[in-house]
Each structure stands twice: as structure tokens, then as C-alpha cells.
Amino acid sequence: VENVRLLDRLSSRKAALGTLYLTATHVIFVENVSETRKETWVLHSQISSIEKQATTATGCPLLIRCKNFQVIQLVIPQERDCHDVYISLIRLARPVKYEELYCFSFNPKLDKEEREQGWKLVDLNEEYNRMGIPNNYWQISDINRDYGVCDSYPTELYVPKSATAHIIVGSSKFRSRRRFPALSYYCKDNNASICRSSQPLSGFSARCLEDEQMLQAIRKANPGSDFIYVVDTRPKLNAMANRAAGKGYENEDNYSNIKFQFIGIENIHVMRNSLQKMLEVCELKSPSMSDFLWGLENSGWLKHIKAIMDAGIFIAKAVAEEGVSVLVHCSDGWDRTAQVCSVASLLLDPYYRTMKGFMVLVEKDWVSFGHKFNHRYGNLDGDPKEISPVMDQFIECVWQLMEQFPCAFEFNERFLIHIQHHIYSCQFGNFLCNSQKERRELKIQERTYSLWAHLWKNHANYLNPLYRSDHGQTQGTLRPQMAPCNFLYKFWSGMYNRFEKGLHPRQSVTDYLMAVKEETQQLEEELEVLGERLANLQKSQLNDNKVKSKQQDRSKQLGLSTSDNSLANTPQEYSNDLKSFPSRSPSQGDEEDSALILTQDNLKSSDPDLSANSDQESGVEDLSCRSPSGGGCLPSEDSGKDSDEAVYLAV
């Protein structure tokens, strides 16, 4: 469709004229301006809603909201075209078969072997071995090998040694969707563990001997403690209501030596509405400070984030400080339970705060334990009431922790944002379907690529420059402040307003430091080369003494640099990576790319050989695209006298 206008959300006056293309996988908007021909690419799977608004004199407006929080406003001149686009997009954004998803057509030009290598990057057996399992207390169980006991669990599960097949099967029959207690995390140092399950089918009075034995077995697997915590992550009221449906929670009288604890995290419907409300606030046009803060408070979003964090902190404390094992469940044990277990693991174990470890953590607590990615993130057309930002919340929890512990994580904010993007993008197979069983049936590993391999390949891009594996903050358990420090939880504009660059800090400390580290790396290399040349020269001048001292000097330098070696990355690789940013087709100067290019400008500016002014241009550009013509903000430079009038009148 030609002569379409792409509106700038902040300024209705600024609009780009261009052509809209629909392909099998993307919506593409290409600007008419001949030199730049700026392109905006949106994956169909990212589209969360399309709204056709009332036709105006200028055309027919179409509003596309994306799951990665991008909002695109188009005006199409002809009503009929607009309707066609609308109908097509509705169909394209809601595929009914997995085969329609992008990952089945996405081809990053890797051969079969590379693809297989990619899928092997994260190996959960290896992870349990790392934790020290199997050992005297825990063993691997193949009871679910054909998904015979529980179809949403993986085939390989870790259970207490004393839990016999009879106990497991019995317990599974007493748990919602047969999700019996299984090991999520084991703490080598004190034998305390985190197990997870779904709610028991206790109703008002039912009990199950095998389930009680199962919990007993978990307790016995930690000989240092004479009780276990059972944490129900639901609000008490919700759990009680479940009893009427024959479900519910553990009765402390029936289970010996458990301490039962409610931690009120709201359900997926509350969370969905909360996000909705917060996004409405983010979308406000030139809101006042009060509008924004009120809206944020009313959405309850940060309160929910805090509830999840508090639950994770409680569990981490029980495991690390009290040495007590914990069984966590909610209703089905695949949403709140996944959030809470993974937050607790992240707090407990520094490994999960590395890039590789984080991939393992997501694979362990989310992918393998049957978090329903397809339903929650609406990959295929389904029940809108199943959609909920469960994983988004977990990712935000990680970000909030990164803000409080800036040196503790090996990865940076960009890593989290890209993972969030790919939960929805369906470009890689990792997050497809609702369970391991479904993924195996679809032969995902043979037909699609793994996100982890892709992220790992570009891992220099995702490093936190402040991370050092030998730093005090990296070691041991993280102990965040509990209540009443609510002010520690902040609005994440880098995520929820990520496409409005004008709102973000114009210079990124992370990128600056990454550039400095990169330069440091080059200097180290140069130092080595120079040292060698010097040594050769000196040798030729038969100056033995000097050679020795120089070499010593050099080896000292290298010793210092070992922790930075993983950073070895040349600017060329960096820009290659830019181009392969997955959400859009290569070489398109769309928003995301230009954001990264901007950071590259910053990188350059730290290079003494290049003009320090390279980020000047971008700063100015930013201003013009940010400047709204509405009141409260600055009039834009090219908005002319009229818009100035508007501003001043509005004041």
C-alpha cells in the first residue's frame, strides 16, 4: 500500500510518508525519503492488537500494538486498503498452526551440525551434575519417560532417593495435573533444596499417604533440618477458594514437620490487567508527573514485582541462612512457582547470574517444567484469558536486582530485553509450545534454531562491564533489602518505553564502559606486540638485561588482563552483530538498529582517533524526534511558529 503515513507517537505533526508491505512474516514500512529509506519491520508474532480507528479527512488510522511494547500508528489513505490490511493482519498475527510460525521459515544459514551444537549449549543433566546431583540423597527418575505420569513435566526429573515409584505415582495423583514435587535447586553446601509442584487435591479434608511420604522424603534428603517449608505463592483467599473445587493447600496437621506459608502473588488475570494499566500510562501523550505516578501506582505493577521478589527472597533466606528445604507451589505450579523458584535460584547461586547460567536457569525452571509459553504469550491464536506477562515479570525482577547489585550480573540490560523480545518473536524454537512433550512431537530441535546459541554467539554485546567474576558482589547469596524499601523498585522505562529513545538517558554508561574495556583489550594486544618488537630490537642490539625486564613487565600485564579476555571483540564483529539483530531483516535502519548504531557512535567517541563529536549528531536528531508540539515539553525545532504558539498557549 502506498502513501501511508507513519505517525510519531509524541508528535502528531511529524509523520513519515512511505509504503507499507505485508509479507508472510513481517509488516514492513519503508519511508519515501530517498536518501535514507528508513524501514520499520515488525514481526507478525509481535503484534498484540490491531485497532482500526474512525476514518478522518486524511485517511484511515490503524493502530498496531506490539508485545515488545512498540506502538505503531499508521494512516492509510483509502478506507478499503486499510480494511484489507486490517483483515490480513488479524489473520497473520494469529496463526493457528505451529508450522505457520516464523521459526520454521527462519534460516540463519547454519549447517545441520551447527544447529545441533546450538541446541546442546544448554544441558540440564550437566546442570544437575553441577549442583552435585545425583548423590546420596537425590537421584534421577525416569518414571515420566513417556510422559506417562505427567504430560507437562520433562522426561527426566530429580527426586529424593527414598521416594519410590509408588510414592511418586501416588503423590502425582493427589496433585493438580499430576505435577508431583520434583527438585528445582539443590544447595551443595548444606543439602537444602527447592522443590516444586502443583497444589494438592486436598479439598476440605482429603489426604494422601503417598504425598505425605513424598514431602517426608524431601525433608529426609536434608538431614540437617527437621522440617521443610511449604510455600503457597497464592493469596490465602485464592487458595481457600480452590478447596471448594477439591483442590487447595497442605494441612499442617496431616503432614509431619512442615511449616506452611502463604505468599500472596496474584494470578495471571490480575497481572495481565496490571500490565495493561501500566502500558496505558506509558502511552499517555505528554502526561504530567502526577498522571504518570498515579497511573503507575494504580496499575499495581511494581507492587506485584515486589511480591514476587519477596517470595524469592523468603525462599533464598530459608535455604541459605536456615538450611531448610522448601517446597513451592501455586495452583498448577507453572507460573508463580516458576517465577519464585527462578528468582530464589538467582539470589542463591552466582552461576545463574552469568550469561550461560541464566540460560540454564530459564531452560530449567521455565522451559523444562512446562511453563505454557504458547498460551501465556499468545503465539498461536488462543484464549486471550490465558495470556499473561509471567515471564516478563521474572525478567523485570532480574533487572530490578541488577539495579541494586550493579556488579553481580555478567550480562546487561540488553540481554534481558532481547530475551523478552524472543519470548514473543517465535523466531527460535526454544519457547514454542506448552511443554517438552509438545516440542518433541513437533521435532523442534530438528526444525528450528536455538536462541541460546544465537545470544551466545554475540555474547560480547551482552556483557556487563562492571562484572568481574572475582568481585565480592558476585560471590554467594544476594541479600536484597526487604520491606519497607519499596522505593528500591523502579519503573523500567528501558523495557516499557524502549522504542521511545527520547525518554532514555542519551549517553549509556554501559556502552561507554564496554567501549573502554574493548579499547583496553586492544591496548593490551598492542602492548604485547610492541613489547615483542622492542625485545627483538633490543636483542639485535645485544642488550640482554633490558629484554628480561621488559618481558617480565609484559607478562604482568597479561596476568591482569585474563579476566577480560572473553571481551575480545573487534568493532567489525560488533557491527555484524547489529545487522543480525533478529527481530528485523538485516541491513534495515529501523529504530532498534539505529539505537544500536547510536551506541556504536558512543563507542567511537571514546576512541581518541575519532572525532568526539560523533554522538553530537545523534543527540540533535533525538531532540527533533522527541520534541513534541504539545504543552509541557519543548516545541520542536522545525515545527514552525504555529506550533510554538500552541505550546505557549497551552502553558
Partner 1 sequence: MEFAELIKTPRADNVVLHRPFYLAVEGTLCLTGHHLIFSSRRQDNAEELWLLHSNIDSIEKRFVGSLGTIIIKCKDLRIIQLDIPGMEECLNIASSIETLSTLDSVTLMYPFFYRPMFEIVEDGWRSFLPDQEFELLSSVTDEWRLSCINKEFSVCPSYPPVVVVPKSIDDEALRKVAMFRHGSRFPVLSYYHKKNGMVMMRSSQPLTGTNGRRCKEDEKLINATLRPGKRGYIIDTRSLNVAQQARAKGGGFEQEAHYPQWRRIHKCIERFNILQESLIKLVEACNDQSHNMDRWLSKLEASNWLTHIKEILTAACLAAQCIDREGASVLVHGTEGTDSTLQVTSLAQIILDPRCRTIRGFESLVVREWLQAGHPFQQRCAQSAYSNSKQKWEAPVFLLFLDCVWQILRQFPCSFEFNEQFLIMLFEHAYASQFGTFLGNNENERSKLKLPQKTMSLWSWVNRSEELSKFQNPLFEANSLVIWPSVAPQSLQLWEGVFLRWNRPSKFLDEAHEEMINIIKYNKELQAKVNALRRQLAEMETDDRMQENL
The catalytic residue among 330, 341, 426, 433 is: 330
Of 34, 107, 136, 290, the one binding partner 1 by CB under 8 A: 290
| Residue 611 in contact with partner 1, rule: CB under 8 A | no
Of 16, 169, 296, 568, the one binding partner 1 by CB under 8 A: 296
Q: Which residues are CB-contacts of 474 (< 8 A; sequence separation ≥ 6)?
A: 350, 353, 407, 408, 467, 468
| Residue 620 in contact with partner 1, rule: CB under 8 A | yes
Three-class secondary structure of residue 552 per DSSP: helix
Of 94, 151, 512, 566, the one binding partner 1 by CB under 8 A: 512
| Alpha-carbon distances of 259 from 221, 231, 255, 335, rounded to whole Å | 17, 8, 9, 22
Q: In which residue are the cell numbers 506452611 written?
A: 260
| Residue 606 in contact with partner 1, rule: CB under 8 A | yes
| Alpha-carbon distances of 31 from 12, 25, 393, 593, rounded to whole Å | 17, 19, 35, 16
Selection from 303, 295, 296 nearest residue 266 by Cα: 303
Q: Which CB sits closer to partner 1, 222 or 606?
A: 606
CA distance 53 to 195: 50
CB-facing half-sphere around the CA of 570: CA atoms within 13 A? 4
Smallest gap, in angstroms, from Cβ of residue 625 to partner 1?
11
- The interface region with partner 1, picked from 31-39, 203-211, 295-303, 438-446 by CB under 8 A, is 295-303
End-to-end CA distance of the chain: 40
| Residue 147 in contact with partner 1, rule: CB under 8 A | no
Tell me whether residue 330 is annotated as binding: yes
Of 190, 557, 566, 585, the one binding partner 1 by CB under 8 A: 557
Smallest gap, in angstroms, from Cβ of residue 633 to partner 1?
6
Q: Which residues pair with 185 in a beta bridge?
A: 194
DSSP 316-331: HHIIIII---EEEE-S
Amino acid in the structure at residue 514: M
| Residue 609 in contact with partner 1, rule: CB under 8 A | no
Of 513, 568, 597, 625, the one binding partner 1 by CB under 8 A: 513
CB-facing half-sphere around the CA of 632: CA atoms within 13 A? 12
Smallest gap, in angstroms, from Cβ of residue 319 to partner 1?
21
Tell me whether residue 267 is annotated as binding: yes
- The interface region with partner 1, picked from 47-55, 437-445, 509-517, 569-577 by CB under 8 A, is 509-517
Q: How are the residues of the chain apportioned to helix, strand and coil, as percentages rounded to the nearest 5?
A: 50, 15, 35
In the region spanning residues 530 to 549, those forming contacts with partner 1, defined by CB under 8 A, are 530-531, 533-534, 537-538, 540-541
Question: Residues in the chain, how many?
Answer: 651
In the region spanning residues 396 to 425, those forming contacts with partner 1, defined by CB under 8 A, are 404-408
| Residue 54 in contact with partner 1, rule: CB under 8 A | no
Of 472, 559, 562, 609, the one binding partner 1 by CB under 8 A: 472
- The interface region with partner 1, picked from 14-22, 32-40, 255-263, 298-306 by CB under 8 A, is 298-306
330 has catalytic annotation: yes
| Residue 565 in contact with partner 1, rule: CB under 8 A | no
CA distance 146 to 581: 38
* Cβ-contact 176, 219 below 8 angstroms: no
- The interface region with partner 1, picked from 106-114, 181-189, 578-586, 606-614 by CB under 8 A, is 606-614
| Residue 551 in contact with partner 1, rule: CB under 8 A | no
In the region spanning residues 148 to 167, those forming contacts with partner 1, defined by CB under 8 A, are none
Which residues are part of the catalytic machinery?
330
Q: Which residues are annotated as a binding site for substrate?
A: 267-268, 330-336
